[in-house]
């Protein structure tokens, strides 16, 4: 498959009063044409920061990309000028932000906000941009688009606002769509509609999708491949069948066990709803060992001393865990 986007050793740090905080530490992944790559993990794991880095949206200062490469069709975006980045953003690479009510401008109609990117990147005149905006609203399933095009964000429901965000992101037919928690705070019916919409648009336009989520159920439904992040690092990566069907890292197993349906199917029996004890550690509390060690039921002395290597073990997909040298330690008995 054609590689559209390749991220190599991405490191992002922020300057604080306590010193430099490394919030992304050696992130690597590839995105292929027409596929959906899910980036999964709890809040604070670095998912959204990765997306902002891809688009050059990290505030500098206090943040900066310390090291790495972001190759979009062979071009390193970290070396691109601001003018070049503005050409790419919203045109070749678009993003659906997490909260549409704070991402949409309340003083402009939704039609004007869709038309803006079309006029900027496609050079359309005012009428042509308005006609295209109406067509985009129709494509994302908003009823009566000729009327809705002149409405303001506060006049729309949460599901409709999210559809407007998708319309803005897809207006210029980007090669890559980054969707940051696109169904947060939406009810399950609207969530299903949004996922159906993304799949249909991907099928019709061939857009590659980076879906950022904390919901392993969404991963099972949407993803072709999955990367699991924790404390700014990628700790597991593989196809959806590999990660969901044969999770290697205790953290990934914990995420799956939090969902009764997935947990039951993987463990071979009906299980009670579980949780991962504790919270994602502060950057200042990571220490020199495995970042997950304080929450891991299988941690041992080596986990306190060195960060685990990210590598494949035998025929299995890649993960970063010292316990993979002793796979029996990861066995979970059915409840």
pLDDT for 7? 97
pLDDT for 299? 87
Choose among 258, 272, 186: nearest CA to 41: 258
Question: Residue 167's domain spans which residues?
Answer: 106-171
* Sheet with 75-76, side-by-side order of all strands: 19-32, 3-16, 63-72, 75-76
Helix (H, G, I), strand (E, B) or coil at 77: helix
pLDDT for 188? 81
Helix (H, G, I), strand (E, B) or coil at 210: strand
pLDDT for 327? 54
Question: 181 in a domain, yes or no?
Answer: no
Classify residue 323 by its DSSP letter. Answer: G
C-beta separation of 184 from 101 below 8 A: no
What are 295's two structure tokens?
Answer: 């929450």
Q: What is the pLDDT of residues 293-306, one digit of tens each?
A: 999 988 888 898 88
Answer with the one of 171, 194, 215 that is the final residue of a domain: 171
Residue appearing with tokens 């803006």: 116
Mean pLDDT within 314-326 = 84
pLDDT for 276? 86
C-beta separation of 39 from 50 below 8 A: yes
- Those residues whose C-beta lies under 8 Å from the C-beta of residue 74, and which sit 6 or more positions away, are none
240 membership: H or E segment, kind and range: helix 240-245
Choose among 203, 204, 211: nearest CA to 183: 211
The number of folded domains in the chain is: 2
Question: 122 in a domain, yes or no?
Answer: yes
Is pLDDT of 1 > 80? no
Q: What is the mean pLDDT of the chain?
A: 87
Which is it for strands 36-40 and 208-213: parallel, antiparallel or unpaired?
parallel
Q: What is the pLDDT of residues 4-62, one digit of tens each?
A: 999 999 999 999 888 889 999 999 999 999 999 999 999 889 999 999 999 999 988 89
Q: The pTM is what?
A: 0.88
Question: What is the C-alpha separation between 136 and 228, in angstroms, rounded?
Answer: 33
Answer with the one of 118, 138, 171 that is the final residue of a domain: 171
Classify residue 283 by its DSSP letter. Answer: G
Band of the pLDDT at 334, cuts 50, 70, 90?
very low
Q: What is the pLDDT of residues 72-102, one digit of tens each?
A: 999 999 999 999 999 999 899 999 987 777 8
Q: Is the pLDDT higher at 298 or at 234?
A: 234
Question: What is the C-alpha separation between 49 and 58, in angstroms, rounded?
Answer: 8
Q: φ and ψ at 148, to 5 degrees?
A: -65, -25
Answer with the one of 171, 189, 215 that is the final residue of a domain: 171
Band of the pLDDT at 158, cuts 50, 70, 90?
confident
Question: 264 in a domain, yes or no?
Answer: yes
The 10 Å Cβ neighbour count of residue 170 is: 23
pLDDT for 262? 59
Question: 311 in a domain, yes or no?
Answer: yes
Question: 161 in a domain, yes or no?
Answer: yes
Question: What is the C-alpha separation between 64 and 82, in angstroms, rounded?
Answer: 15
Question: 288 in a domain, yes or no?
Answer: yes
pLDDT for 197? 83
Question: 83 in a domain, yes or no?
Answer: no
Question: What is the C-alpha separation between 165 and 160, in angstroms, rounded?
Answer: 9
The 10 Å Cβ neighbour count of residue 147 is: 11
Question: 159 in a domain, yes or no?
Answer: yes
Helix (H, G, I), strand (E, B) or coil at 75: strand
């Amino acid at each position: 498959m054609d590689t559209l986007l390749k991220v190599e050793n991405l490191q992002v740090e922020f300057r604080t009063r306590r010193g430099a905080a490394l919030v992304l530490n050696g992130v690597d992944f590839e995105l292929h044409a027409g596929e959906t790559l899910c980036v999964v993990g709890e809040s604070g794991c670095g998912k959204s920061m990765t997306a902002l880095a891809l688009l050059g949206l990290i505030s500098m200062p206090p943040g900066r990309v310390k090291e790495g490469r972001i190759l979009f069709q062979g071009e390193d975006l970290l070396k691109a000028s601001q003018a070049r980045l503005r050409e790419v953003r919203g045109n070749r690479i678009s993003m659906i932000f997490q909260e549409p009510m704070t991402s949409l401008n309340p003083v402009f109609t939704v039609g004007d906000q869709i038309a803006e990117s079309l006029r900027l990147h496609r050079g359309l005149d005012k009428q042509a941009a308005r006609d295209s905006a109406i067509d985009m609203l129709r494509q994302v399933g908003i009823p009566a688009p000729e009327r809705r095009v002149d409405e303001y964000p506060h006049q729309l429901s949460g599901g409709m606002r999210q559809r407007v965000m998708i319309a803005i992101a897809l207006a210029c037919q980007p090669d890559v769509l980054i969707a940051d928690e696109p169904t947060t705070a939406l009810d399950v019916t609207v969530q299903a509609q949004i996922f159906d919409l993304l799949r249909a648009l991907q099928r019709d336009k061939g857009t590659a999708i980076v879906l950022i989520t904390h919901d392993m159920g969404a991963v099972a439904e949407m993803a072709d491949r999955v990367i699991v992040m924790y404390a700014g690092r990628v700790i597991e990566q593989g196809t959806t069948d590999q990660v969901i069907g044969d999770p290697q890292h205790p953290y990934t197993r914990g995420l799956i066990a939090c969902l009764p349906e997935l947990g039951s199917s993987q463990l071979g029996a009906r299980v009670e709803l579980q949780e991962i004890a504790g919270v994602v550690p502060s950057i200042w509390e990571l220490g020199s060992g495995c970042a997950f060690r304080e929450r891991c039921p299988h941690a041992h002395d080596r986990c306190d001393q060195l960060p685990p290597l990210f590598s494949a073990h035998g025929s299995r997909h890649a993960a970063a865990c010292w316990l993979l040298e002793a796979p029996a330690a990861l066995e979970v008995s059915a409840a």
